[in-house]
Amino acid sequence: MLYELVVPVGRLWFRVFFRLHVIGLENVPRHGPGLVCGNHCSYLDPMLAAVALPRKIYNVSRKEIYQLPLLGPVIRRLGAVRIDRESLADKGALQEVLAIMDHGDLCMIYPEGTRSPDGCLQDPHNGAAFLAVKSGAPVVPMAIIGSYECWPRQRRVARVGRITVRIGQPVTYHLPPEHESHREDLTVISIDIMSRIRTLQEQGHA
């Protein structure tokens, strides 16, 4: 119930203060599971995922964000999955995400693992690739453009600006069962996911 109440208000807030523009909504699966993978450079990103997409989405968020006095309680109530970024193999969180997608829902994960310090794409971890292969769900690349300028990690509060979200075509990754946990194979997929996000970013800056 809270999700249905907060998201429309959030959409209006983002349109008024950040002139939010979303491109590529047709690429989001209307039914069934999906793993949305996006760049991460601002506290605004988890809220952006909720207001930009046409379906409810569960955000994978680092545990520290729950300590924030305003964002923490809201994000938790909106269906965030808490992950320990100090443990690169937080099996509990990964299993929770797989269970959510097994029920046919959307999950949002940031392959970089944490906010970019300069707004540029960082090297990815393999968590997103592992979830994509293990679930068999389509990966939907998403580039968030402008959130760093509005609220970089160096600032205490956000400032008004323009944010664009570009959503790419879904892609499904497969590996033989015996390779699903091989770091080398997962790294190849992680790099491909980030390459798709980078392409969307470049299209937005063109």
Q: Which of 59, 45, 133 is nearest to 96 (CA)?
A: 59
Using CA atoms, how far apart are residues 160 and 16, in angstroms rounded to an integer? 9
Q: Which of 144, 138, 142 is nearest to 115 (CA)?
A: 144
Average pLDDT for 45-52? 90
Using CA atoms, how far apart are residues 173 and 100, in angstroms rounded to an integer? 18
DSSP type of residue 200? H
Residue 189 has pLDDT above 80, yes or no: yes
Using CA atoms, how far apart are residues 7 and 58, in angstroms rounded to an integer? 13
Angle, CA 122 vertex, CA 106 and CA 27 arms, to 5°: 30
74 Cβ partners below 8 Å, 6+ apart? Answer: 6, 47
Using CA atoms, how far apart are residues 206 and 65, in angstroms rounded to an integer? 33
Q: What is the pLDDT of residues 72-124, one digit of tens each?
A: 666 666 666 766 654 445 677 888 899 999 999 999 999 998 899 999 999 99
Q: Given this model, what pLDDT does residue 88 score?
A: 45
Q: What is the pLDDT of residues 171-183, one digit of tens each?
A: 999 999 888 889 9
Q: Which of 106, 115, 113, 119 is nearest to 198 (CA)?
A: 119
Using CA atoms, how far apart are residues 36 and 131, in angstroms rounded to an integer? 11
Q: Given this model, what pLDDT does residue 114 score?
A: 87
Average pLDDT for 47-62? 87
SS3 at position 31: coil
The residues facing 144 across adjacent strands are 165
Question: What predicted TM-score, i.e. pTM, was given to this entire model?
Answer: 0.89
Using CA atoms, how far apart are residues 187 and 169, in angstroms rounded to an integer? 21
The residues facing 166 across adjacent strands are 23, 143
